[in-house]
């Protein structure tokens, strides 16, 4: 249910993105007035982050964590059910704001005051929807933590857990730590709007920059909430198709934990141009660069796992390799943005848009698709059409670069983000970017078709669909029984699963 919901929201968010690229295909206001364009942009961001990526990772956790740790099910099924059913109501509320008088929210997904305080009737449902999404995330995170710590097989120590489980355990703690900060921040916006408080109003002694500090204290760990489970999936897929154990398992665990810790002390690198003291700028610049070290450890370990492996290039492996390469490009542009004097040039340009889309599309989305293609035979008991899945990969990998790479050039040339119109000298690269966007968007329908066909057309995959697949989930039947491990797996079985 989580995965189907996230797929639906991904298609909605993708359709909004294609409307954005349609407007930017040529200079001039073509199809949408600026207010409506800004609403589309805001809805795209909120839908993709809270509706597509986060519920998808919760869906992966629900399905794979019990299988991988030898548990019969998630620890708190009623809480799980509640945390899911909050989401359809939250997004009905959020997307419904587009039809209210004055239109939908138009201040960007960051909701910075004073702009967000000028919204019309869409403001209260926006805040309420964000609260509902936050509650859902926190409940899901509690469930994951309780399941992993209390229900894993008795002989499975923490440092014998699969890396996907480790990544989700750390992600769950991040969620519990930062979602209340977002909730508090948007509640302060609400009281500023309706109850006469002045938290973020300079006229009453408040400070709009304080909202930015609060928001990004949530927002930067949120980036890692979206990418740490991706690290976990890639750490499962690459060893399977290299037919080798992951290189440096413990180093990978400590790297994930280090990235999570550092994510709490780098938030103000989003704010270098607000007038921060020099000491603050230097601190946030250096801590941001420090994240490159554990991230580099992970990239090195994936590469070392590939070294002299018996490689094969099925669709999960193709997406995982594309993730490593393209996520690294996004990481390098992030290092460029970390340099304070350079950031003065990049800030609020399309260079920033290119950076975070390289991290989140060929990053989070490609890793999800690697995970779906890796575990789909286990989930359905059927093997999907490998030829169609390979076509989906190549169309996606080529078009995603045509879509986002030119945006680096646009940003360096000075094109601001969040604008429906632009100077004529930016036309050529916008045309290229939009064509890439349309191809990428349409090619994702192939992904949906491959999954639908796999679920409907019998093609038995066997219990171990991939020769090099490791882990307890591959010891079960395909598809697994409703209660996957009625009795906990033995130490012998755990050891044997790790050896495959």
* Active site (catalytic) residues: 44, 73, 109, 136-137, 220, 222, 224, 235, 269-270, 295, 298, 417
- Helix/strand/coil (H/E/C) assignment for every residue in the chain: CHHHHHHHHHHHHHHHHHHHHHHCCCCCCCCCCHHHHHHHHHHHHHHHHHHHHHHHHHHHHHHHHHHHHCCCCCCCHHHHHHHHHHHHHHHHHHHHHHHCCCCCCCCCCCCCCCCHHHCCCCHHHHHHHHHHHHHHHHHHHHHHHHHHHHHCCCCCCHHHCCHHHHHHHHHHHHHHHHHHHHHHHHHHHHHHHHCCCCCCCHHHCCCHHHHHHHHHHHHHHHHHHHHHHHHHHHHHHHHHHHCCCCCCHHHHHHHHHHHHHHHHHCHHHHHCCCCCCHHHHHHHHHHHHHCHHHHHHHHHHHHHHHCCCCCCCCHHHHHHHHHHHHHHHHHHHHHHHHCHHHHHHHCCEHHHHHHHHHHHHHHHHHHHHHHHHHHHHHHHCECCCHHHHHHHHHHHHHHHHHHHHHHHHHHHCCCECCCCCCCHHHHHHHHHHHHHHHHHHHHHHHHHHHHHHHHHCCCECCCCCCCCCCCHHHHCCCCCCCCCCCCCCCHHHHHHHHHC
Structure tokens of 265? 């002390």
Nearest Cα neighbor of 94 from 149, 163, 147, 43 is 43
Q: Which residues contact 500 (CB under 8 A, 6 or more apart)?
A: 464, 468, 469, 470, 474
Contact 347, 272 (CB under 8 A): yes
Task: Work out the number of other CB atoms within 10 angstroms of the CB of residue 31.
Answer: 11
Helix axes 123-151, 163-194, angle to 10 degrees: 150
State the distance between the two ends of the chain, measured CA to CA, in whole angstroms: 31
Q: How far is CA 482 from CA 8, 67, 103, 236, 489, in A?
A: 24, 10, 44, 23, 16
């Amino acid at each position: 249910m989580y995965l189907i919901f996230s797929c639906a929201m991904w298609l909605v968010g993708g359709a909004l993105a294609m409307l954005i690229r349609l407007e930017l295909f040529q200079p001039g206001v073509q199809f949408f007035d600026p207010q409506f364009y800004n609403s589309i942009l805001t809805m795209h961001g909120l839908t993709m982050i809270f509706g597509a990526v986060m519920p998808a990772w919760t869906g992966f956790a629900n399905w794979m964590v019990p299988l991988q740790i030898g548990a019969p099910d998630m620890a708190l099924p009623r809480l799980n059910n509640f945390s899911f059913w909050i989401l359809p109501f939250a997004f009905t509320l959020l997307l419904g704001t587009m039809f209210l008088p004055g239109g939908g929210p138009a201040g960007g997904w960051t909701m910075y005051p004073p702009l967000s305080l000028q919204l019309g009737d869409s403001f209260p449902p926006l805040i309420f929807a964000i609260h509902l999404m936050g509650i859902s995330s926190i409940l899901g995170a509690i469930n994951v933590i309780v399941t992993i710590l209390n229900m894993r097989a008795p002989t499975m120590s923490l440092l014998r857990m699969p890396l996907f489980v480790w990544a989700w355990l750390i992600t769950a703690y991040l969620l519990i730590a930062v979602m209340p900060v977002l909730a508090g921040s948007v509640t302060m916006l609400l009281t500023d709007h309706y109850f006469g408080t002045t938290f973020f109003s300079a006229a009453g002694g408040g400070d709009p920059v304080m909202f930015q500090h609060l928001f990004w204290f949530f927002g930067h760990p949120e980036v890692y909430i979206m990418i740490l489970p991706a690290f976990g999936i890639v750490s499962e897929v690459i060893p399977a198709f290299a037919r080798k154990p992951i290189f440096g398992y413990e180093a990978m665990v400590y790297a994930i934990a280090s990235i999570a810790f550092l994510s709490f002390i780098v938030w103000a690198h989003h704010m270098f141009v607000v007038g921060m003291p020099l000491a603050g700028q230097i601190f946030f610049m250096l801590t941001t660069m420090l994240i490159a070290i554990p991230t580099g450890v992970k990239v090195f370990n994936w590469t070392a796992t590939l070294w002299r492996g018996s490689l094969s290039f099925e669709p999960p492996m193709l997406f995982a390799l594309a993730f490593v390469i393209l996520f690294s490009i996004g990481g390098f542009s992030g290092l460029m943005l970390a340099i304070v004097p350079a950031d003065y040039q990049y800030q609020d340009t399309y260079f920033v848009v290119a950076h975070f889309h390289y991290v989140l599309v060929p990053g989070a989305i490609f890793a999800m698709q690697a995970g779906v293609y890796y575990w789909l035979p286990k989930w359905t008991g059927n093997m999907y059409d490998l030829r169609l899945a390979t076509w989906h990969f190549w169309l996606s990998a080529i078009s995603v670069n045509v879509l986002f790479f030119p945006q680096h050039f646009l940003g360096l040339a000075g094109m601001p983000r969040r604008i429906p119109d632009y100077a004529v000298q930016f036309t050529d690269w916008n045309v290229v970017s939009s064509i890439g966007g349309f191809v990428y968007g349409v090619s994702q329908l192939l992904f949906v078709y491959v999954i639908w066909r796999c679920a409907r057309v019998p093609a038995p995959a066997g219990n171990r669909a991939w020769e090099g697949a490791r882990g307890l989930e591959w010891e079960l039947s395909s598809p697994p029984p409703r209660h996957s491990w009625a009795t906990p797996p033995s130490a012998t079985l755990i050891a044997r699963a790790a050896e495959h």
